[in-house]
């Protein structure tokens, strides 16, 4: 577990998952069908519990220009710069459950922002940086 400084805001276009965790793959597939992946486009996953404890999830990509997501009929969200607690998972696809386990561990940090979210930042082909916003 390491502290991580997100140096800038990221404006992202997203597709919400219909269910969690089952709907995550379909959300990313829908997103990729609307905005094809590019080598230098940053990919994220965002999640948080709603008021009833149900996990809400968004598959997201960084917008290349203001309003890009809107042009594709997608929602837009701003990932805020600031301090996060983080952990990098190498080769996450070998055991996807590592992501949930890592977030459970990160959420135990005493300075987690109670109004924050869990952020997956996909790095390269098979690595993911898991982040949780701090107060």
Cβ contacts of 121 within 8 Å, gap of 6 or more: 42, 43, 44, 128, 129, 130, 131
How many residues does this entry show for the chain? 135
pLDDT digits (tens, 9 = 90+) for 28-69: 999 999 998 888 899 999 999 999 999 999 999 999 999 999
Q: Are residues 129 and 123 in contact, defined by beta-carbon separation less than 8 angstroms? A: yes
Q: Report the predicted TM-score, pTM, of the whole model to 2 decimal places.
A: 0.93
pLDDT above 90 (res 74):
yes
Query: What is the architecture, at CATH level 2, of domain 2-133?
Result: Alpha-Beta Barrel (3.20)
Question: Is the previous residue joined to 72 through a cis bond, with omega within 30 degrees of 0?
Answer: no
Confidence band, pLDDT 50/70/90 cuts, at residue 78? very high
DSSP characters over 60-87: EEE-SSTTHHHHTT-EEEEEPPEEEEEE
């Amino acid at each position: 577990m390491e502290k991580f400084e997100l140096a800038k805001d990221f404006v992202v276009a997203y597709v919400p998952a219909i269910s969690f965790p089952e709907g995550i793959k379909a959300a990313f597939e829908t997103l990729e069908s609307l905005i094809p992946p590019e080598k230098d486009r940053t990919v994220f996953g965002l999640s948080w519990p709603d008021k009833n404890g149900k996990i809400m999830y968004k598959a997201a990509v960084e917008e290349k220009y203001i309003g890009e997501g809107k042009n594709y009929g997608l929602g837009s969200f701003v990932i805020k710069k600031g301090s996060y607690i983080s952990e990098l998972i190498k080769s996450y696809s070998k055991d996807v459950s590592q992501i949930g386990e890592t977030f459970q561990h990160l959420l135990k940090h005493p300075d987690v922002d109670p109004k924050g979210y869990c952020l997956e930042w996909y790095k390269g082909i098979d690595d993911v940086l898991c982040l949780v916003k701090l107060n």
